[in-house]
Structure formats: C-alpha cells, structure tokens
Amino acid sequence: MKKQLFTYLYLLAVSLFAVAPAMSQTAQYTLNKDKSQISLIVDTKQTKYTVADIVGRKQGRALKEAKAYALNINADTVGTWTKLPSSENVWKLVIDVPDAKAFFVNFDEFYLPEDAQLYVYNKNELKDAVVFSHKDNPRGGAYSIDGLKGDNVVLEYVSGEDGEKPKFTLSYIGYKYSEVLHEYEESGSCMINVNCTEGELWQKQKKGVVQIRLKKANTFYLCSGTLINNTSNDKKPYVLTAYHCVENMTPEQIKNNTYFYFGYETPSCENTEKAPEYKFLKGSDVKVLNPIGKGGDGALLELSESIPDDWDVYFNGWDVEDNSANIKNGTVIHHPLGDVKKISLYKDSPTKTNWKGGAAYCYWDIKYTDGVTEGGSSGAPLFNNNGLIVGTLTGGENFLCNSADKNKVDSYGGFYYNWDKYTGAPEFTGVDTHLKTYLDPSNTGAKKLEGLYSFGLEKTRISMMPNTTTSVRIIGDEGSYIVSSSDLSIIQASVANNLITITATGKGNATITVTDSKDKSIDIYVTVVTQPVDIVMDLVGKNLVVTAYNEEDAIDQIRLINLDADVLRNEKNVNLKTYSVGMEYFKSGVYIVQIKTKKGVSRTEKILWRN
C-alpha cells in the first residue's frame, strides 16, 4: 500500500453520513436509502478467540486472523457520484464495521485509470488517508486494502480529467479478531526486521518470502511461504509452504481463496510510522500435498497469475540434505502475526524428530539464537548456511520473547522428506505427494539448486582463470540491456541477444553491472585467480569456505582429516561452486583438507585452525 498524507481537501454540498433507514440486502450487511453507506451485520461473539485458537499454533495450525463477511458488491450499484468545481467526478462509499478494531477489504476487481486516485480513510481521520493509484494494481483483478483501523472506512474515488470510472467489485470484509490484531507492529518485541544487521547476508532470500492469507469457510487465516526455483530455471511461480496451512481445503477452494503478499517489509531496520507498501496476487493451483504428522507437512502451490517482470523477487534455492550435522548457522524468514517480514537465526544443528507422535520421523527441531517465530510464521522456509531451503515451519512452543525462549524449539518439516520420501496415497486426484515431480521436472537428479532472480541471470558469481572467456545468460524478455565493468584491467564484458560475454584480462575481483530498460540492475561478481580451487578460513563465521574457480566445474567432495588420520568430515556429491564447512566444534590445531571437483581437479592443503 502506498501511504501519504491526505492533502487533497474539498467540500461537498451533500451530507455524506446521514443514513436513511436501512433495508436488508443480504444476511451480512444492509444499505441505507441512497446506497451511500454499507453497514455490516456483526455478531461480536464470532469475532473473538477461543482457547483452542490460542493454543492452535503449537498443534500445527494456521493462524486464525479474521471473520469473513461476504459483500459481492459492484461499485456501479452503490455509492454516490458528485462533480467537483474543478470538473473531476467523485464517487464515495462509506462502510461501517460495528465495534471493529481493525479490518481489511478484499476486491475481486480493483482497477484505477492512470490519472485517477482512490482515497481511503476513517471518516474521523481524513488527514491519515491512504492514496491508491493505477500503479498499485496496474493489471486490475483482485486486490486487498489492508491495515484499516477503527469501525469504518470511506472509499473516495477522484477521476481524472476524462471522468473515466473505476472498476471495483468488493468481495469480503475481513473483521479482525479483537484479542490479537494480526498486522503491522503487532508481533513480539524480540522479532527482528529483515533489513536489520542480522539480515544483511540474506537479502536475496528475503525477496522470495511471502505472506499468505487463506479463507476457509467464513474465516481468514495467515501463513508464510516462499517462491522456489526448479531445475528448469523457468521462473514458474511455485510457492512452498506448509500442508497444515491449506489443510481441510479442496483444490478448488485453494484456487479461489489464497492471497499472496510480496515485499511487505520495512525499508530499514526501524519500523516506519505507516505500514509499508506491498504487492498482491490472488489464487493458486495446488501441486503437492504431503500431510502433517504421517508426512512432512509440505505443500507446493503454483500462483494463478504470472509475477510481473518489474517485481523484484527471488526464487529461492534448495538442498535435499538429510544429515542434521550439515544444517547449521542459518535463518528462517517469516511473517509473524501478519507483521512485516522478520528474520530469526539459529546456530546449532537441529535434532531430527517426529511431529506430535506422528509416523514420519522427518522434522527438524531448531533452537534460535536471535529472534523467534509466532502464529502466522507457519510455512516459512528454513535456510541452511548456504542460503538454501532445508525445511518449512510446522509449529512449536509458545515463545514469549524472554530468556526462557533459548530452551524452546520449533519443528520444521524436512525438505528432503517432502522431496520424494513419502509413501502414502495422494489426498486428491492429480495432486502429487513429492516436491521432486515439479522442482526437478526433467529428472536431472539434482540434490541442490541455487536460487534465481525474476529479472535474472543464470549466475551472479563467477570464478575464472586469466585469459579465459565465459558467458552468462540473461533470464528475461528479449530487450535492451547494458553491461559495465568496475575494472577493465581485470574484466571486460559485452552483451548481445541476452548473452553476456565476459573476458578475464587480469587478476583480482571486479563487478559487472547489468541494467535493463527499466533501470533495474543486477551485479555479477567476478573473481580471477590462478588456483583452480581455493580454501579460505572464515574465523568469524567459524567456517572453511571452499571454492572451485573453473567456470564449468563444481566441488564434488571435501574431506577433513586430523593428524591421526581420522576422517572428521566427508562431504560427498556437494555439486556447488562454493561450499562452507562448519568448524565451530573442532578444536584449534592442524588439519588436512582434501578437495575433489567434478572435473577431476584435486587439492590437498594443510591448515592451522584457530577456534
């Protein structure tokens, strides 16, 4: 939502708020005589939490957010039109939501002409109006106006000079449950905004994380999820979340009642005065369901609409890792209690367990070092230290943002299990139980996959030898792109037909910036070295960072051996250009590192590790 101060004030000769005796239109609202005002018929008993709702998160349930009141009203049939002295046409509609503290309005159709504006405000707070324009939903279709406070809202449309009308179809009012308002700034005090220092190394991954709203029967629920890449690298809009978020919904209900919020985050570490903007899409087709308890609590959805090319999103990569010792020093990025995007960190490897006594022993129990999760975080991705998804949040203990949280755990459904391990029957015809079917559609056998930008490059980090040439494909529409090098003495680059040609002319590090016709840019980080394989000791992060520099090569195996010839680590089939080996549990001393690459390059190095 774009928020700005309402400075466009004017007077109308009509009394907007004089309500004539209402006549019943449906069981859920009434209209006044001139149809300028809608009043919900609210049963306040149905807008309060039960004890079962409060403890539901610990049992692996989606977060109950709001009571749904159906409207199904076209703007052509309600509201009043007035012509201003300045010739603009103005349409106004008041919606009264008795006793509400907060609510939202869903639209099945929301289209504003390019030179028009929609002002949204509480009738007692004109100065705090939210202003919408064409660019908020340029393609039209479904939309949601969130973050409304109090017991009413005024929708006031001001046309452009040509007087063109908007296209609005109001579908639902979401009446927020009064005990806990699930929205901006309502999550726990220990939650960490994703653009704080703790999130600096996770800026790619955050761009894939979305907030998910679901309507089941007459209730709205909240979860989290992430865009996820597949081995075709074709930007198919798959969203990974938890099964329990869509539990008790049919494929048709999922298709029509799932809502996705992109980029809902504060621009910096601190909260802003007003809730930040977001982007919105409605609808999805369910592709994979892997049940909670007897399975790994996984769900894969495909968005009903394509993601616009100018949205800055990231399709997160994944790792089919089933050894807990290799999962550490990672994060979870999520939307707790419907709040903006947050990040929580963990250090130690998880414990493998089951969920509430279920048959599948395929869940990761995680303890956090910074931040926690809350209701609404369900379905959020668990990232390992290489920034790849290894799980999705199922549920956990009741975190209170105090010192006792350090001993509490959250459980994540193992990505490896949802990949291809579940042996139960599909819940619905045409819905698979294995992520592998859609995330490795060509059956390449990949066990790890890097993420992908929306306007993307097939890779953004390159290692080269001097006097060699390589290329990088631009993933996007055929168009006009510009490339530039930060240091021509190290790297030179050119582009033609969406293919960037890169030549190493020296030794060192340089950056190639690729810019599209909309001035959106992505950097390619290039390292030119003389060694085909490198080992760097990261003493701060307590990792050995191993990199294969030949362009067509990747790390295949890493062995860590002590001076007694004991093999302490033996990582096989790594298949990554760069891989971090956790060293925090090893004593200071001399170790031998043996590396083999896919192309047969070997290197053995003796290192002195200080812990």
DSSP 445-474: --SEE--EESSEES-SEEEE-TT-EEEEEE
Structure confidence at residue 178 as a pLDDT band (50, 70, 90): confident
* pLDDT (tens digit per residue) in 310-341: 788 999 999 999 999 999 999 999 999 999 99
Q: Are 154 and 120 within 8 A, CB to CB? A: yes
Say what the pLDDT of residue 585 is. 83
Mean pLDDT of the chain: 88
Query: Tokens 């990761």 sit at which residue?
Result: 364
Question: How many DSSP H helices and E strands does the chain contain?
Answer: 6, 46
Cβ–Cβ under 8 Å, residues 278 and 302: no
Distance of alpha carbon 458 from its chain centroid, rounded? Answer: 21
Number of Cβ within 10 Å of residue 59's Cβ equals 13
**What is the predicted pLDDT for the residue at 367?**
95
Are 103 and 174 a contacting pair, CB within 8 Å? yes
Instruction: Locate 354 and state its tokens.
Output: 């089951």
Mean pLDDT of 220-233: 96
Which tens digit of pLDDT belongs to each residue from 70-82?
A: 999 999 999 999 9
Nearest Cα to Cα of residue 373 among 164, 152, 153, 222: 222
pLDDT at 477: 61
What is the identity of the amino acid at 233? N
Q: 459: which residues sit within 8 A by CB, 6+ positions away?
A: 450, 472, 524
pLDDT band at 166 (very low <50, low <70, confident <90, very high): very high
SS3 assignment, position 314: strand
Beta-sheet strand order (sheet of 499-504): 456-457, 469-475, 499-504, 491-496
Distances (CA, A) of 340 to 44, 191, 192, 274, 532: 28, 10, 10, 12, 43
Q: From CA 399, how far away is CA 404, in angstroms rounded?
A: 8
For β-strands 89-96 and 37-40, DSSP reports them as: parallel
- Burial category of 139 from C-beta neighbours within 10 Å (exposed 0-12, middle 13-18, buried 19 and up): exposed
465-502 pLDDT, tens digit each:
888 899 998 876 667 899 999 999 999 999 998 899 99
Q: Which of the four pLDDT bands, split at 50, 70 and 90, describes residue 413?
A: very high
Domains annotated on the chain, with CATH:
23-176 (2.60.120), 197-439 (2.40.10.120), 455-528 (2.60.40.1080), 533-609 (2.60.40.3080)
**pLDDT attached to residue 52:** 64
What pLDDT does residue 339 have? 94
Does residue 53 sit in helix, strand or coil? helix
Of residues 497 and 26, more confidently modeled: 497
Q: What is the DSSP string of 55-89?
A: HGGGGT-PEEEEEEEEEEEEGGGSSEEEE-TTS-E
Contact by Cβ (8 Å): 104, 84 = no
pLDDT for the residue 230: 97
Q: Compute how many other C-beta atoms are within 10 angstroms of the C-beta atom of residue 285.
A: 16
Largest separation between any pair of C-alpha atoms in the chain: 92
Q: Which pLDDT score, from 0 to 100, does residue 18 have?
A: 35
Task: Calculate the CA dihedral of residues 130, 133, 138, 139 and round it to 10 degrees.
Answer: 70
Q: What angle do CA 201, 367, 395 make, to 5 degrees?
A: 100
**How confident is the model over 28-71, as pLDDT tens digits?**
999 999 999 999 999 887 777 665 665 555 556 899 999 999 99
DSSP state of 326: G
pTM for this one? 0.76
Residue 17: pLDDT band with limits 50, 70, 90: very low
pLDDT classification of 550: cutoffs 50, 70, 90: confident
Count of Cβ atoms closer than 10 Å to residue 167 Cβ: 16
Among 87-101, 163-177, 514-528, 560-574, the least confident range = 514-528
Higher pLDDT, 367 or 453: 367
CA angle 319, 324, 330 (to 5 degrees): 65
Given a cut of 60, is residue 11 above it in pLDDT? Answer: no
CA 341 to chain centre: 8
57 phi/psi in degrees, rounded to 5: -60, -40
**Whether pLDDT at 106 is above 60:** yes
